[in-house]
Amino acid sequence: MKRVKFYEKLLSEIEADIEIVIVINGNFDQRFVDADRELLEEAGFGAEQDETILLPEKRRLYVGADSIGASDIRAACASAVRALGSKNYKTAKMASYLNHPKCTSVLRAQVEGLLLGGYTFDRYKSKKSDKGLHKIRISLEEYNGFELDIPAVQRTVEKGIISADAVNFVRDIVNTTPDDCYPETMAQIADSIAKEYGLECEILDTERLRDEKMEAMLAVARASRHEPRLIHLSYRPENPVAVVSIVGKGLTYDSGGLSLKPSDFMVTMKADKSGGSAVLGIMRAVAALKLPIELHGFVGAVENMIGGDAYKPDDVLRAKNGKTIEVRNTDAEGRLVLADVLCYAQEKVKADYLFDFATLTGACVVGLGQYTSGVMGWSEEPIQRVLYAADTLSGEMAAKLPFNRYLKKSLKSEVADICNISNTRYGGALTAGIFLGEFIDEHHRQKWAHIDIAGPAFVEHVWGENPVGASGAGVRLMVRLLEKLARGDSH
Ligand code: BES
Ligand code: ZN
Ligand code: ZN
């Protein structure tokens, strides 16, 4: 467990085993770099983004960053902590980094990067390592020489810690194996968050789901030995400025069902619960930040398996809103679960905004690459909020995929109201999003955005501030969006 703390002290007054220094844009003239300039040049340190060099005898670690923008600093800090992950230094110190005297967004990125880069998942390792940093101390000394507004800085550090902790919490859930994390486990996690942060928590089991006429979700769950759960967490502060619902796909395993996935595609499908896990993490962060937003989190926790009781291609299912769905592929299960959960969420809560997170389609990964989420909907306003919160505020990457009415026709069914897959092999992320749109009611149509996190949620190598495996995609993005909404900013 890493800890970051801000100290009202100069760097020289802070004790630590090692000092971390960022070299920005190849600028070796900075006050903090000058001392070791010759050594660094001699060693051939080029200060490329995320490049690190350790000078043990000087007790300094240098890391490069392309700019003093938040994203570059976040990634550089993560790389620095990672580079020390196999070393024996326990405490590190750093200057604070700002790009403007009044704006602490880079400092927040710094804190996030340090905590996100320090993440490791060793639940299944028989030998746990004690190597790597335990504590990082940030000094009020600022490399540009800006005077810090101490209370503002303290708050920023606090916010950075809360959002990074939430991301790491989500990473732990997603990395957990399907045998150790199944729908009931997700419900237990939700319940413990509720107890710790004073949230309301309602869990619907199979019987309650039947009462609620959620046939689509129940069909997906049927062949699993683990019963499904619908989780509803609510955070209700006094005088909220807005009511927001977030919905997550929580497939604790997606084997594909009878439309079985090929072996190579099945590996990593424990991560199909990433959207639902993100919802749990966002609830936790928003409650910890005490944002003046009424927030409802809904998770459809289900396991998609095979067996004599499995739902089949050719089945017709009736979703909660009465629409009938022709199943043509049991591997397009996320949209079936979400159809019901979205209906339930809208019936329970008339929200000002409705966002859903899902590892919904491989097509989204093909279209945008592994690192970028796809954002969709029938209304520009919520989409733009997500895009701004992504690239500009949180450093997550997201891009809009535009709906159109021609693709909508590809979901037509001859026997039911709609098909669960389209009749074209093109635009798969969009047709999945358009399918979800059929379960959004009139009230929420202009307030909804769907975020396909299939790419960034789980990547099998290190990238930026993200480790191998679960990234916690969607958490920082949504927390920033809600913080902005809480401030009453229009986008
Ligand atoms: N969970 C998968 C989507 C996915 C693929 C997530 C790769 C992460 C990485 C989803 O349930 C699925 O299987 N979708 C199908 C839809 C198809 C049958 C229309 C897909 O993308 O192939
Ligand atoms: Zn699937
Ligand atoms: Zn899936």
Write out pLDDT tens, residues 295-322. Answer: 999 999 999 999 999 999 999 999 999 9
The percentage of the chain sitting over the pLDDT mark of 90, rounded to a whole number, equals: 96
Buried b (16+ CB within 10 A) or exposed e, 385-402: bbbbbbbebbbbbbeebe
Hey, which residues does 229 pair with through a beta bridge? 301
Locate the domains of the chain by residue range: 3-143, 168-486
Q: Three-state SS string across 269-335, please?
A: HHHHHHHHHHHHHHHHHHHHHCCCEEEEEEEEEEEECCCCCCCCCCCEEECCCCCEEECCCCCCCHH
Confidence (pLDDT) at 34: 85
The pLDDT confidence band at residue 228, using thresholds 50, 70 and 90, is very high
From 335, 447, 476, 480, active-site residue: 335
**CB-based burial of residue 464 (10 Å sphere; 0-12 exposed, 13-18 middle, 19+ buried)?**
buried
- The rounded Å distance from CA 329 to ligand 1 centre is 11
Identify the sign of the CA torsion 106, 111, 112, 116. Answer: positive
Atom index in ligand 1 nearest the CA of residue 265 equals: 7
Write out pLDDT tens, residues 344-366. Answer: 999 999 999 999 999 999 999 99
Q: In the predicted model, what is the mean pLDDT of residues 112-138? A: 96
Alpha-carbon dihedral 19, 25, 29, 34, rounded to 10 degrees? 30
Confidence (pLDDT) at 1: 60
Nearest ligand, CA of residue 473?
A: 1
Confidence (pLDDT) at 491: 62
> What are the structure tokens assigned to 454, written together?
């299939």
Q: Are strands 135-142 and 91-96 parallel, antiparallel or unpaired?
A: parallel
Q: In the predicted model, what is the mean pLDDT of residues 204-225? A: 98
**Is 90 exceeded by the pLDDT of residue 2?**
no
For the whole prediction, is pTM greater than 0.95?
yes
Q: Which residue's CA is the nearest one to ligand 1's atom 22?
A: 362
Confidence (pLDDT) at 98: 96
108 catalytic per annotation: no
Buried b (16+ CB within 10 A) or exposed e, 109-124: bbbbbbbbbbbbbeee
Confidence (pLDDT) at 30: 85
Rounded CA separation 432/422 (Å) = 8
Average pLDDT of the residues of the chain: 97
8 Å CB contact between 353 and 245 = yes
Q: Are strands 18-24 and 91-96 parallel, antiparallel or unpaired?
A: parallel
Closest CA to 109 of 94, 126, 125, 92: 94
- The rounded Å distance from CA 115 to ligand 2 centre is 32
**Is 70 exceeded by the pLDDT of residue 31?**
yes
Confidence (pLDDT) at 35: 87
Rounded CA separation 12/164 (Å) = 27
Rounded CA separation 402/460 (Å) = 29
- The rounded Å distance from CA 331 to ligand 1 centre is 7
- The rounded Å distance from CA 179 to ligand 2 centre is 18
Q: Which residue's CA is the nearest one to ligand 1's atom 13?
A: 331
> What are the structure tokens assigned to 350, written together?
């008339």
Q: In the predicted model, what is the mean pLDDT of residues 284-288? A: 98
273 catalytic per annotation: no
What's the Rg (C-alpha) of the chain? Answer: 23
8 Å CB contact between 278 and 453 = yes
Rounded CA separation 57/43 (Å) = 14
Confidence (pLDDT) at 174: 99
**Is 70 exceeded by the pLDDT of residue 198?**
yes
Q: Which residue's CA is the nearest one to ligand 1's atom 7?
A: 362
Q: Which amino acid does the sequence have at 125?
A: K
Write out pLDDT tens, residues 375-430. Answer: 999 999 999 999 999 999 999 999 999 999 999 999 999 999 999 999 999 999 99
**Is 70 exceeded by the pLDDT of residue 437?**
yes
User: Token match 């997170």: residue?
Assistant: 357
8 Å CB contact between 286 and 235 = yes
Q: Is the C-beta atom of 302 inside 6 A of ligand 1?
A: no
Q: Which residues contact 42 (CB under 8 A, 6 or more apart)?
A: none
Q: Is the C-beta atom of 272 inside 6 A of ligand 1?
A: yes
Ligand 1 pocket test: which of 361, 420, 424 has the largest number of ligand atoms within 8 Å of its C-beta?
Answer: 361
**Which CATH number applies to 168-486?**
3.40.630.10
Q: Which amino acid does the sequence have at 173?
A: I
8 Å CB contact between 194 and 234 = no
Q: Which CATH class is domain 3-143?
A: alpha beta
From 261, 318, 328, 348, active-site residue: 261
- The rounded Å distance from CA 452 to ligand 2 centre is 13
DSSP, collapsed to helix, strand or coil, labels residue 27 as coil
Q: Which residues contact 317 (CB under 8 A, 6 or more apart)?
A: 215, 216, 219, 311, 324, 325, 327, 336
Atom index in ligand 1 nearest the CA of residue 422 equals: 19
Ligand 1 pocket test: which of 252, 277, 306, 331 has the largest number of ligand atoms within 8 Å of its C-beta?
Answer: 331
Closest CA to 387 of 373, 368, 371: 373
8 Å CB contact between 15 and 7 = no
Q: In what order do the strands lie in the sheet with 324-326?
A: 316-318, 324-326, 418-419
**CB-based burial of residue 222 (10 Å sphere; 0-12 exposed, 13-18 middle, 19+ buried)?**
middle
**Is 70 exceeded by the pLDDT of residue 26?**
yes
Distances in Å between the alpha carbon of 301 and those of 193, 283, 296?
Answer: 16, 16, 16
The percentage of the chain sitting over the pLDDT mark of 70, rounded to a whole number, equals: 100
Identify the sign of the CA torsion 139, 141, 143, 148. Answer: positive
Q: In the predicted model, what is the mean pLDDT of residues 71-77? A: 98
Confidence (pLDDT) at 32: 80
CA 210 to chain centre: 31
